[in-house]
Amino acid sequence: MTSSFPSNRSAPSPVYPMRRPIYLDCQSTTPLDPAVLEAMLPYFTEAFGNPASNSHSYGWEAAAAVKLAREQIAAAIHARPEEIVFTSGATEANNLAIKGTAEANLAKGRHMVTLATEHSAVLDPMRYLQTLGFEITALPVEPDGLLDLGKLEAALRDDTVLVSVMAANNEIGVLQPLAEIGAMCRERQILFHTDAAQAIAKIPLDVQAMNISLMSLTAHKVYGPKGIGALYVRRKAPRVQLAPQLHGGGHERGLRSGTLYTPQIVGFAKAVSLGVVQMAVEAERLGSLRDRLHRTLLPLGGIILNGHPSQRLAGNLNLSFEGVDGQALLLALQPTVALSSGSACTSAKMEPSHVLGAIGREAALAYASIRFGLGRFTTETEIDQVAEQVKAAVMALRA
């Protein structure tokens, strides 16, 4: 293979700082676990076949890998393998669930219910459906970020076709009562969708016990590769009908056309399997580190916790620092700590978080918020270092 660079020049090399920042942005994305990479590598080279090629061994090999991955992901949420539909990520899964349900259930109704704190990958498809004549009820949440089940019950109507509530919030980490919502929806014969991108392999998920009809998943929040996700689609009691959003080829039983990306799928399944095995121990470890960080910062004063104090992801700590501009704090910490103020999908927008607004934070406090996202490779030493750097930066900015 010949190089595209002139013979008298060498290819440019990536330039990294001598010491990379401590990474505490695991709700945005997570690093690939080395074991996941190892599982994926053969499917880029030796086992490169198309799983849809059923006339030779290369295709059979890839198809077998996809079949096993489907079984592993299904087992993690107590589903059947045939109920897992692979997508490019949770955003596509959310769009397929919401718009697919809308198109397939026009005869029943045009009303959907969601929360004001949902990810934009849920709220934006809902807004799109409004332009087509659907009625969307976006329920408020309580000051701790939790849904009031009484308000949900009051919002349900005879023409409600879908309730969509996120399992774990990507900004404030709040865990919604999925089982209670599922039971309410089942009693009313309403489909229940949950965006579980932040929850998979971090908290127990059981689509049967929780009466979940549709569940969106992604790999890159759980130490898997980017660009791969899945939608759980219930096939029994009741069978969920969806209208496909991508056409051409009839892959995934006609619900999502497109050649399956075998290496990504294998990595997704490996990441989920590892996460499930480590779930309880890792949740305890992360919760302890999170609380250590919180306790260390409290003496600063003027610190407000965003979201429920205990019903939240173990690795999430979202704080507002009174008298401090959040962006200035991020810039002060940037050389040594990688953090964000909220969703990576909307971080370019210079406006306060809609999630923090929904829990009653005024704009000044919303702008003063920082999300600490702890993960599998976060250490106690790093937490102590970050705490000291945050304290120094906050005191300097307040001064």
Q: Looking at the annotation, which residues are catalytic?
A: 345
- Across-strand partners of 115? 139
Q: How far separated are the first and last CA of the chain, in Å rounded?
A: 59
Which amino acid would we find at residue 396? A
CB atoms within 10 A of CB 75: 15
Let me know: does 128 contact 156? Beta carbons within 8 Å. Answer: no
Let me know: does 264 contact 227? Beta carbons within 8 Å. Answer: yes
| Phi-psi group of 270: left, alpha or beta (phi > 0 → left; psi -120 to 50 → alpha; rest → beta) | alpha
Q: Which residue has the tokens 């660009």?
A: 227
Pairwise CA distance, residues 379 & 386, whole Å: 11
The two three-digit tokens of residue 383, written as one number: 């937490």
Pairwise CA distance, residues 138 & 121, whole Å: 14
Sign for the pseudo-dihedral over CA of 73, 378, 327, 302? positive
